[in-house]
């Protein structure tokens, strides 16, 4: 029997029971666990035909069944285990018995934790993240392009909405390219199964939390991918979606209880207004719609107030770190999640993996709105989110304004200065991820009207600013396009497919301008990689003068001066105003041009140009 989900104008909602064929024991999740975890408690989700009519038991030293929970749907049992610190790795049967019927048994395994120095090591401001959509980067294994039995079986590279065939093996094949470029971390949009009937390539509608999408590879291949990245000193960020799940997933199609997802009398979208979460004068109805409304008709909104949902999600995320050794989490649609649950989630994850880094997606409209979600801001929330950092959209918008805007009291380069000046709102702004584009927005090169000078200036500011810089695949070869109306920001990386006319992973496949861009990014990324002052050094900025913005990144070993001329004409820069940081330095090295500067007090800076100068004594 099965809790039926009715598809109507209201969306997918639980309406009753219908007869269905189902294995007697369909899922046990997590399928295995580890000894020596900080939290001795583990809740197993067991799914099978009327499994609740059976009695569950096990016998294994230092492991006991604390409780067995029957819920609304008889196809589920939730088994609470307590695994003591003295428990040893090994296998044992979990028995499911019913009088008059054949016993069922599941062989459960507790594994030994096997960590290395690179296990869950964290992604920090020492790194540069490279964001990849696996379906659009490279097809390393054409045999998995179409998987029989899955709902979407069309491969069409001519359509932005169908799958194109990119996979984990394709990314593995180009790790050398990324290493040479200067990338130190890779963030993949979700690689777990999205068995939806259309546009499932993006990964944000999960249908199986414990399984890599077979069109990308397998769980074992994902583990291999992480290991190969670590061998090359590249870290891995895993993208998580707490807020919603794909409506075709087995656990949504046959939910444990009606309250597994948020239910409405008729289909209700989120109002997408993050301010409703923090508004001291706000209406409860607005806050409820923001948090409990669905993101999309194909994305069921998870009820994070349900303790079974909480355990299921938290354990799944811990499982992936312990299984594969990923170094960080990016949390999708962070403001739409339940605040107290996310705080509890973060504490439990950090208890197991103290060095793991976490940043939340906050595409909101002010520094205050961003900072509200970060840890340490307890005065207005009455709680600590324990969220170390966020995706800093305000830095992105400010760099665009500096590049494209007109000079004004709060406009042009002054916007960037003012945004950085508000870093006092964060416990530590250096934990924020800073970026200029991603898979949900127009590409940077298009946003600067394909002006190569502005492209270089923006990238120079991004890679010298405080925080953790993030690039989007293809930025380094000037991939372009706008997010509307056709989503062409998700085109394939040329050369990632056999038969591509040009292979832009190679210099021979790139045109002159693309090679110039690649060489520029290669120089800048590798300089940053080898310059701790640009990673963990202090930041001092000056109020812009005559349309020129000047800031310094420095530590005890090195001082780097960054100057951006926001004017439309060449402008003289007077260094006498900056002696607080330039005192004792007589010359410099122009990082981007590779030339020596004998006079750092008087410079002529071309229009819309950024200079990066390593000061010399």
Q: Cα dihedral angle (486, 489, 494, 499), rounded to 10 degrees?
A: -30
- Measured from the Cβ of residue 146, the count of other Cβ atoms closer than 10 Å reads 14
Q: What contacts 163, CB < 8 A, 6 or more positions away?
A: 135, 145, 152, 154, 155, 156, 200, 201, 215
Q: Are 246 and 195 in contact (CB under 8 A)?
A: yes
Q: How far apart are CA 368 and CA 424, in angstroms?
A: 10
Neighbours of 79 (CB within 10 A): 21
DSSP letter at 589 equals E
Cis peptide before 99 (omega within 30 of 0): no
Nearest to 573 by CA among 609, 541, 605: 605
Tokens of 253: 């199609």
DSSP three-state, residue 321:
helix
The yes-or-no answer on residue 344 being catalytic is no
Cα separation, 175 vs 173, whole angstroms:
6
Cβ atoms of 442 and 480 within 8 Å: the answer is: no
Residues in contact with 213: Cβ distance below 8 Å, sequence separation at least 6, in sequence order: 191, 192, 193, 194, 195, 203
Provide the pairing of β-strand 32-34 with 104-111.
Answer: parallel
Q: Which of 195, 213, 322, 361 is catalytic?
A: 361
Q: How far is CA 588 from the centre of its chain?
A: 38
3-class DSSP state of 173: helix
Alpha carbons 250 and 195: distance in angstroms, whole number: 10
**Is 423 part of the annotated catalytic residue set?**
no
b/e code 367-400 from CB counts within 10 Å (16+ = b)? bebbbbbbbebeeeeeebbbbbbbbbbbbbebbb
Under DSSP, the state recorded for 600 is: S
Residue-level length of the chain: 617
Catalytic residue (choose from 248, 332, 392, 423) = 332
Is-contact 329 352, C-beta < 8 A?
no
The token pair that represents 617 in the structure block: 């004594």
Strand partners, 97: 55
CB 209 within 8 A of CB 191: no
How many DSSP H helices and E strands does the chain contain? 17, 30
Give alpha helix (H) positions in 85-165.
none
Residues marked as catalytic: 332, 361
């Amino acid at each position: 029997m099965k809790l039926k989900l009715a598809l109507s104008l209201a969306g997918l909602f639980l309406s009753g029971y219908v007869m269905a064929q189902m294995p007697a024991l369909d899922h046990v999740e997590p399928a295995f666990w580890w000894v020596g975890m900080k939290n001795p408690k583990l809740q197993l989700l067991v799914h099978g035909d009327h499994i609740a009519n059976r009695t569950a038991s096990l016998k294994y030293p230092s492991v006991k069944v604390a409780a067995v929970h029957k819920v609304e749907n008889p196809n589920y049992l939730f088994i609470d285990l307590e695994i003591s610190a003295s428990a040893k790795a090994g296998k044992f049967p979990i028995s499911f018995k019913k009088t008059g019927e054949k016993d069922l048994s599941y062989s459960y395994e507790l594994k030994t934790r096997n960590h290395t120095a690179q296990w869950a090591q964290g992604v920090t401001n020492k790194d540069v993240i490279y964001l990849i959509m696996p379906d659009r980067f490279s097809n390393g294994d054409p045999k998995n392009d179409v998987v029989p039995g899955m709902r979407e079986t069309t491969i069409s590279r001519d359509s932005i909405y169908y799958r194109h065939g990119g996979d984990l093996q394709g990314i593995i094949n180009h790790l050398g390219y990324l290493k040479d470029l200067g990338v130190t971390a890779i963030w993949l949009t979700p690689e777990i199964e999205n068995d939806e009937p259309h546009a499932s390539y993006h990964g944000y509608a999960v249908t199986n939390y414990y399984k890599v999408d077979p069109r990308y590879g397998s769980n074992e291949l994902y583990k291999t991918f992480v290991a190969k990245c670590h061998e090359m000193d590249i870290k891995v960020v895993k993208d998580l979606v707490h807020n919603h799940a794909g409506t075709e997933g087995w656990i949504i199609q046959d939910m444990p209880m009606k309250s597994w997802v948020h239910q409405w009398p008729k289909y209700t979208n989120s109002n997408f207004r993050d301010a409703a979460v923090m508004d001291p004068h706000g209406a409860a109805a607005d806050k409820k719609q923001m948090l409990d409304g669905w993101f999309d008709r194909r994305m069921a909104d998870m009820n994070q107030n349900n303790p079974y949902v909480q355990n299921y999600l938290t354990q799944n995320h811990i499982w992936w770190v312990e299984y594969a050794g990923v170094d960080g989490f990016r949390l999708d649609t962070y403001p739409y999640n339940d605040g107290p649950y996310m705080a509890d989630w973060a504490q439990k994850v950090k208890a197991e993996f103290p060095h793991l880094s976490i940043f939340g997606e906050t595409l909101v409209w002010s520094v205050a709105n961003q900072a509200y979600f970060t840890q340490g801001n307890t005065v207005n929330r009455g709680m600590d989110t324990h969220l170390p950092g966020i995706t800093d959209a305000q830095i992105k918008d400010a760099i665009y304004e500096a590049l494209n805007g007109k000079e004004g009291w709060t406009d042009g380069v002054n916007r960037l200065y003012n945004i950085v000046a508000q870093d006092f709102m964060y416990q530590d702004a250096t934990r924020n991820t800073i970026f200029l584009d991603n898979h949900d927005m127009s590409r940077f090169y298009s946003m600067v009207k394909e002006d190569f000078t502005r492209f270089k200036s923006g990238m120079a500011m991004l890679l010298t600013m405080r925080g953790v810089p993030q690039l989007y695949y293809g930025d380094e070869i000037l991939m372009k396009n706008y997010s509307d109306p056709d989503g062409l920001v998700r085109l394939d990386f040329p050369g990632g497919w056999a038969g591509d006319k040009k292979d832009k992973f190679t210099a021979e496949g790139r045109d002159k301008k693309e090679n110039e861009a690649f060489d520029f990014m290669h120089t800048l990324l590798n300089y940053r990689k080898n310059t701790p002052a640009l990673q963990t050094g202090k930041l001092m900025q000056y109020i812009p003068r005559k349309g020129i913005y000047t800031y310094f990144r420095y530590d005890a070993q090195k001082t780097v001066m960054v100057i951006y001329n926001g004017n439309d004409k060449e402008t003289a820069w007077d260094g006498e105003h900056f002696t607080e940081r330039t005192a004792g330095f007589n010359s410099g090295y122009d990082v981007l041009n590779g030339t020596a500067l004998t006079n750092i007090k008087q410079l002529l800076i071309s229009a819309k140009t950024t200079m990066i100068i390593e000061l010399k004594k």
